[in-house]
Amino acid sequence: MLDVNEFNHFRINHCTHLAEKQNHINGIENFLNQAKCHLRKFNGISKAHFELYLKECEWRFNHSNFVYYGQAQDRPQGLDKESYLTVAKLTAILRLANSLDRSHKQKMKGVKAVLQDNELILKIDSQEDITLERGFFQTNTEFFKEVYSITPVIRQKKKF
């Protein structure tokens, strides 16, 4: 059995140690925190099945739905509708930003945003294949469009 109740967490001063070897892991820390909360429900997992449970957590993390204001039962106390709308807007932006570096290889060398008609055109400078990023970007465009009434679009400009 694998016990998921005991975890050591070390604080990193990101002001002085940012991106120093293993210290640029905020996204991973967020995922692991959510995975630990989910896995604690099972009071131990067999080592043979741990990878499958972790894959389920990964899927949940990458495909979680946004909970709308009227549907939120566990809404934090004091969060009014205007604040909730701000959270929705930030969530839409962060989902798009996260999709632009899904491979975690920092393929984008420059990004310029242009608002034209009802499209937010992101002009990307990259010599690399961004197929993975395009795929994840497409999955997040609907929510962005729902929140802002603007369709985000990627246009890759290959610089040599």
The pTM (predicted TM-score) of the whole model is: 0.57
Residues of the chain with pLDDT under 70: 1-31, 61-65, 67-79, 159-160
How high is the pLDDT of residue 2? 46
- Per residue in 4-44, pLDDT (tens digit) is 555 555 565 655 655 554 444 556 666 677 777 777 777 77
Residue 54: predicted pLDDT: 76
What is d(CA 56, CA 48) in angstroms, rounded to the nearest whole number? 15
List CB contacts of 41: < 8 A, sequence separation 6 or more: none
Q: Measured between alpha carbons, how far is residue 10 from residues 14, 54, 133 in Å?
A: 12, 22, 31
The pLDDT score that the predictor gives to residue 56 is 76
A 10 A CB-CB count for 92 gives 22
What is the SS3 assignment for 77? coil
Tokens 């449970």 belong to 53
